[in-house]
Structure 1
Amino acid sequence: MIALGLEGSANKLGVGIILHSKDKSNPVQILSNIRHTYHAPPGAGFLPKDTALHHRSHVASLVSSALREANLTPSDVDCICYTKGPGMGAPLQSVALAARTISLLWNKPLVGVNHCIGHIEMGRSITGATNPVVLYVSGGNTQVIAYTSNRYRIFGETLDIAVGNCLDRFARTLNIPNDPAPGYNIEQLAKSGKVLVDLPYAVKGMDCSFSGILARVDELAAQMKSGILKDPSTGKPVTAEDLCFSLQETVFAMLVEITERAMAHVGSNQVLIVGGVGCNERLQEMMGTMARSRGGDVYATDERFCIDNGIMIAHAGLLAYQTGFKTELADSTCTQRFRTDDVYVAWRDD
């Protein structure tokens, strides 16, 4: 069976086409995975209306390109999958409208997909992780998840803003470019940082809080720009690279801690990192150190599958469609709030 997936919950518009076959040696085949990103100017975030306009402007050409790349026609596609939520309202609406239009034009059934489930199932398929604890980290979400009884259960999450949003907003403070991604640019600056500045560390059980950390590092950035922020051990000025390094080390240590607590709770020795922040090499390195100390492994994907993409929506949607699930046209809405554990995972019985 073949599915076309549309993702547009934030500033990435993705179109993917996937094939599920009975060939046990190659059961999942990626036929096309195309993405186009809306970049706001440096120092600014992407506004919902501008992002929605970007998605509406590019979705038709991306769908056409995906079909050409996969060497398919609309008649070859079995279902149209789209991101139902969570995400930003206006971009989600644009993609839902595109999915409904394609469904009507091609006379194909619709499948609404939970964004997080898409990340998890794509990560499991690409990495081969069997039943891992999942760390889902992105611009809008931060959750520690484990599967049981046909649900992805949330063990811990952010109490305020997501870790990716924390990094993105600090990039605005430093006026760092948004191309290719603000978090990526912070990661590159952090590689040159040497001074670990003291920042708040906010872990509460298996939950995290990032807004206080962001407020404090913003204060330190203002002191740095005025030249009064010094390294207490050397007396040398603290740099933007030092602040990026300190922010990453602090928030990633928090994420490693809550993930390890969940692993101990469920008795798992596997960690799967998904979401856009999951591309960060330093996060993968820190998580790997923790997992190996427990005799386990960490699994992660590269930017093709970590960053929001259409293929993950096509994959998760097709898994659901093969169990008999579909979204009626009258119910093909979208929502900014769609909990991961609201989804009944009918395709798993382990």
Structure 2
Amino acid sequence: MTVVIGFEGSANKIGIGIIRDGEVLSNPRRTYITPPGQGFLPSETARHHRAVVLTVLQEALQQAGLTPADIDCVAYTKGPGMGAPLLTLALVARTVAQLWGRPLVGVNHCIGHVEMGRLITQAHNPTVLYVSGGNTQVIAYSERRYRIFGETIDIAVGNCLDRFARVIKISNDPSPGYNIEQMAKRGSRYVELPYTVKGMDVSFSGILSFIEEAANKMLASAECSAEDLCFSLQETLFSMLVEITERAMAHCGSQEVLIVGGVGCNLRLQEMMGVMCKERGAKLFATDERFCIDNGAMIAQAGWEMFRSGQVTELHDSWITQRYEAPPTQIIPRCHDQTTIYSRGQQPFQHAVPV
């Protein structure tokens, strides 16, 4: 049996999870929450992570009923994400690995989401919709690699929702996206918004600009309610995501859809995707907030896959990067093939931060 502990802290959530051969033993998490109307700054987020990381580590070991001697490998998020929070958890993971005398594995955050979704749902070969605060991509496994068939050309869907939440001062507790989802359930009037799909790509910045301006005018004149705007924004954004996912399914001949990432636990998105899948005779796979939202177990799972294939990260290479793409040589066993994530037209960010 192989036991891997994973450290995740790429944004405002810090999580430490422990995986033993596909079994989630523990997965505690903390979230840095700011006042309504505010986002989270990297330096303040890193300060939060530093304050709670040892407590979360202790909880992870206690919930799993394990000691450091039981751990075989230490995995951490190498990127992508916010620099200061990433650096904080990387330092802790590297220190723990040296103190415990265990090998270290740097994990791609995106692959962590995908592999965790596959583990929990047991999806075989799905078209993956990866939607979060920092990423929006349609990914499929083709010709021995994960490939991005569609993505946002500007901001991520989660970022669009979060920024709209700031405009109308929605609470960040437990998350702005969750609170928008609840408000949308009470909305009844649909406000027409721009719908921007370009092939398999989407654009959200124009929608955000439009609804920000519309919110100021419509709410002031009582033309519609904040709930109506939340409802309209969700319906428009999610319709775009369903469309590009279906297009990727048709292109790949896929009959499975897996939704991962923080926005993936939105029940309305799952419902709309489910309707599309039913019409195509396909299956929908999704998880709840325990595994959709950033967590340590997903890093542990991807680290477990990498470690069992013989991959380790040497101390001199245990850096972090805010835009991380897995190198072509990285092996994550799947049908005994090599897998990696490619981003079309983008080169790996060169300014890596050494730990």
TM-score of the aligned structures, taking structure 1 as reference length: 0.94
Give the structure 2 partner of residue 234 of structure 1.
none
Runs of 4+ that moved beyond 4 A: 340-343
Contact 1:15–1:311 (CA under 8 A) maintained in structure 2: yes
**SS of equivalent to 2:27:** strand
Give the structure 1 partner of residue 145 of structure 2.
151
Change in Cα spacing, 1:342 to 1:201, as seen in structure 2 (3 Å) is: farther
The residue identity in structure 1 corresponding to 2:65 is N
Q: CA RMSD in A?
A: 1.2
Write the distance in 2 (CA, Å) between the matches of 1:343 and 1:135: 24
Task: Say how many residue pairs are matched.
Answer: 335
Match of 2:287 among 290, 293, 301: 301
Write the distance in 2 (CA, Å) between the matches of 1:292 and 1:341: 36
Give the structure 1 partner of residue 236 of structure 2.
250
Between 149-158 and 271-280, the greater mean CA deviation after superposition: 149-158
Runs of 5+ unmatched residues, structure 1: 21-27, 230-236
The residue identity in structure 2 corresponding to 1:5 is G
Give the structure 1 partner of residue 4 of structure 2.
3
Write the distance in 2 (CA, Å) between the matches of 1:282 and 1:4: 33
**SS of equivalent to 1:104:** helix
Q: Does 1:172 align with 2:158?
A: no
Contact 1:151–1:345 (CA under 8 A) maintained in structure 2: no
Instruction: Give 1:11-160 correspondences, 5 Å limit.
Output: 11-20=12-21, 28-160=22-154
Change in Cα spacing, 1:248 to 1:50, as seen in structure 2 (3 Å) is: same
Write the distance in 2 (CA, Å) between the matches of 1:41 and 1:109: 39
In the TM superposition, residue 38 of structure 1 has moved relative to its aligned partner by: 0.3
Identical-pair percentage: 64
In the TM superposition, residue 293 of structure 1 has moved relative to its aligned partner by: 0.5
In the TM superposition, residue 70 of structure 1 has moved relative to its aligned partner by: 1.0
The residue identity in structure 2 corresponding to 1:103 is A
Give the structure 1 partner of residue 227 of structure 2.
241
Match of 2:315 among 317, 320, 329: 329
In the TM superposition, residue 343 of structure 1 has moved relative to its aligned partner by: 7.2
Write the distance in 2 (CA, Å) between the matches of 1:71 and 1:284: 34
Contact 2:309–2:331 (CA under 8 A) maintained in structure 1: no
**SS of equivalent to 1:299:** strand
Give the structure 2 partner of residue 346 of structure 1.
332
- The Cα offsets for residues 327-350 of structure 1, whole Å up to 9 and x where unpaired, read as 000100111101368673431126
Give the structure 2 partner of residue 232 of structure 1.
none
TM-score of the aligned structures, taking structure 2 as reference length: 0.92
Write the distance in 1 (CA, Å) between the matches of 2:328 and 2:165: 33
- The Cα offsets for residues 167-196 of structure 1, whole Å up to 9 and x where unpaired, read as 000000010010000000000000011111
The residue identity in structure 1 corresponding to 2:7 is L
Write the distance in 2 (CA, Å) between the matches of 1:225 and 1:75: 58
The residue identity in structure 1 corresponding to 2:313 is T
Write the distance in 2 (CA, Å) between the matches of 1:343 and 1:133: 23
In the TM superposition, residue 60 of structure 1 has moved relative to its aligned partner by: 1.0
Write the distance in 1 (CA, Å) between the matches of 2:144 and 2:104: 22
Contact 1:151–1:341 (CA under 8 A) maintained in structure 2: no
- The Cα offsets for residues 85-109 of structure 1, whole Å up to 9 and x where unpaired, read as 1111111011111111101111111
Change in Cα spacing, 1:341 to 1:333, as seen in structure 2 (3 Å) is: closer
